[in-house]
Amino acid sequence: MSKRLTTTAGAPVSHNDTSKTAGPRGPVMLDDYQLIEKLAHQNRERIPERVVHAKGWGAQGTFTVTHDISQYTTAKIFSKVGNTCEILSRWSTVAGELGAADAERDVRGFSVKFYTEEGNWDVVGNNTPIFFIRDAFKFPDFIRTQKRHPKSNLRSPEAMFDFWAGHPESVHQVTILMSDRGIPVNPMHMHGYGSHTYSMWNADGSRVWVKFHFRNQQGIKNYMNDEAESLIAKTRESYQEDLFGAIEAGDFPKWELNIQVMNEEDAEKQDFNPFDLTKVWPHDEFPLIPVGMLEFNKNPDNYFQMVENAAYSPSNKIPGIGFSPDKMLQARVFSYADAHRYRLGTHYESLPANAPKVPVHHYHKDGAMNFNGPSTGHPEAYYEPNQYEASAKADPSVSEPPLKISGDADKYVVEMEDADYVQPRKLYAEVIGDDERSRLHMTMAGAMAPCSTPVRERWFEVLGKVHPGYEAGVRGALSEIDNA
């Protein structure tokens, strides 16, 4: 039996097809409140798209702890093998708008929300272990180069390579982006990384630095340029089609969560900055330690509610997991939550996708769309400290151990040094094979082709510092394109 259609206020609706008019051919009456409500709501159906990561795909599932890491962290989710919690993930392109094609060459966002018994824990990363820059002061400038030019309203390779040439630490990430790994077949066939350096501490208060790795269990698969171009000509929604279709068919994608662990004293001995987001930790020195398995087994019943409204932020952490001196992470702790307040509203964490599965008690007050009422544990306790025993109080037992810091507060300029070229040099010369190197040369040359000669030369100087063969290979490929 069908249900009765109502207004948003619950009143029954008599007609849902035609406007109220003065006679069958007359003008529309202003008192047709149902018409006004439908039009007004439609005008407000779209919320601002994300500044980055606008185009995304998501799924719900379960995380299960498979290995004991309680020697590193007091987080209750990791206290016992077999512990589980619900999870919500969103994967995304970085630069493209909401209508961008899924199979474009781009970095992919990889975010997971763990609904733990101690609150929500978010890991907000990418499908690469590094990023283009190490200091968030340049993040707005970087993102502007990835978006549309203010005059042409087109993407600008000139701006991209000009910025990258001015920040040579970006060559590591650009190399990955232009390599065979630049276009994953779909979310199920790429790894994920927390990318940043985080911290964990155990019951003794001992801290270690950690990196989070999500190793996909389906195998790595990527598209070559021609394959991606042919696919985009047929569909712009290939990731959503693949992900949604696989889960509907019962083919549930899985990722194994691993961590790398570095002791505080070891961090002081590295010949690179372990808190620099443009650097990886060597696996031979800091091997992957398995932790648990993520299985995504449910497509959200409402995509907008659970995927578009999903708000991930590294500020969502739980006792036993903390931050590090990573400059990009420190800034993202603020900027991500603030972006959600702007895009979704003051009380964005009350939305179903973001609401924790545990009781919430805080002293935030009022604001638009506050439909929860008092949450402090006592109706009279709207401030703190107060006289009411039942009201929410801080728990010193979950305090983080002190973080050792040293040095004078200043804006330090990191001198360009060979450390920025060591890891991309190894990636280019030792990890990537001959055939992939040739494709890397051609892909990068194609991306550089619209650039001016000065920008080309600035970028060639960077490539030459990585490896002379890198510069020569891209120069040769670009010459072929120019003379074609």
384 and 391 Cβ atoms separated by less than 8 Å: yes
445 lies in the same domain as 462: yes
DSSP string across 349-401: GGSTTT--SS---------TT--S---SSSTT-SSSS-S-TTS----GGGPPP
161 lies in the same domain as 69: no
Give residue 152's domain range.
133-166+421-484
Residue 147 domain-assigned (yes or no): yes
Cα separation, 176 vs 432, whole angstroms: 10
155 lies in the same domain as 192: no
Count the neighbouring beta carbons within 10 Å of the beta carbon of residue 155. 16
Residue 219 domain-assigned (yes or no): yes
Report pLDDT for 378: 85
253 lies in the same domain as 308: yes
**Catalytic annotation, residues:** 53, 126
Report pLDDT for 325: 94
Cα separation, 275 vs 294, whole angstroms: 26
In the chain, DSSP finds a helix count (H) and a strand count (E) of 13, 10
Report pLDDT for 280: 97
Alpha helices, H only, 147-212: 157-166, 171-178
65 lies in the same domain as 100: yes
Q: Per residue of the chain (484 residues), what is the pLDDT tens digit?
A: 888 888 888 888 888 889 999 999 989 998 888 888 888 888 988 899 999 999 999 999 999 999 999 999 999 999 999 999 999 999 999 999 999 999 999 999 999 999 999 999 999 999 999 999 999 999 999 999 999 999 999 999 999 999 999 999 999 999 999 999 999 999 999 999 999 999 999 999 999 999 999 999 999 999 999 999 999 999 999 999 999 999 999 999 999 999 999 999 999 999 999 999 999 999 999 999 999 999 999 999 999 999 999 999 999 999 999 999 999 999 999 999 999 999 999 999 999 999 999 988 888 888 888 877 778 888 888 888 888 888 888 888 988 998 888 888 888 877 667 889 999 999 999 999 999 999 999 999 999 999 999 999 999 999 999 999 999 999 999 999 999 8
- Single-letter amino acid code for the residue at 144: R
The structural domain count of the chain equals 2
262 lies in the same domain as 183: yes
Q: CA dist 149 to 155, 157, 166, Å?
A: 6, 10, 18
Cα separation, 188 vs 254, whole angstroms: 8
Report pLDDT for 415: 66
Report pLDDT for 255: 98
Report pLDDT for 132: 97
Q: Is 35 exposed, middle or buried (0-12, 13-18, 19+ CB in 10 A)?
A: middle
61 lies in the same domain as 113: yes
Report pLDDT for 461: 97
Phi, psi of 471 (to 5 degrees): -60, -45
For the stretch 281-317, pLDDT in tens is 999 999 999 999 999 999 999 999 999 999 999 999 9
Buried b (16+ CB within 10 A) or exposed e, 306-344: bbbbbbbbbbbbbbbbbbbbbbbbbebbebbbebbeebb
Report pLDDT for 484: 82
Report pLDDT for 416: 63
330 lies in the same domain as 264: yes
74 lies in the same domain as 112: yes
CA 359 to the chain's CA centroid: 26
User: DSSP letter at 12?
Assistant: B
265 lies in the same domain as 312: yes
82 lies in the same domain as 222: yes
- Closest-CA residue to 127 (of 46, 57, 62): 57
User: pTM, whole model, 2 decimals?
Assistant: 0.94
- Closest-CA residue to 247 (of 64, 65, 101, 57): 57
Report pLDDT for 155: 95
CB neighbour list of residue 48: distance below 8 Å, 6 or more residues apart: 342, 343
Residue 327 domain-assigned (yes or no): yes
DSSP string across 99-126: TS-TTSSS-EEEEEEEEEBTEEEEEEEE
What is the C-alpha radius of gyration for the chain, rounded to an integer number of angstroms?
A: 25
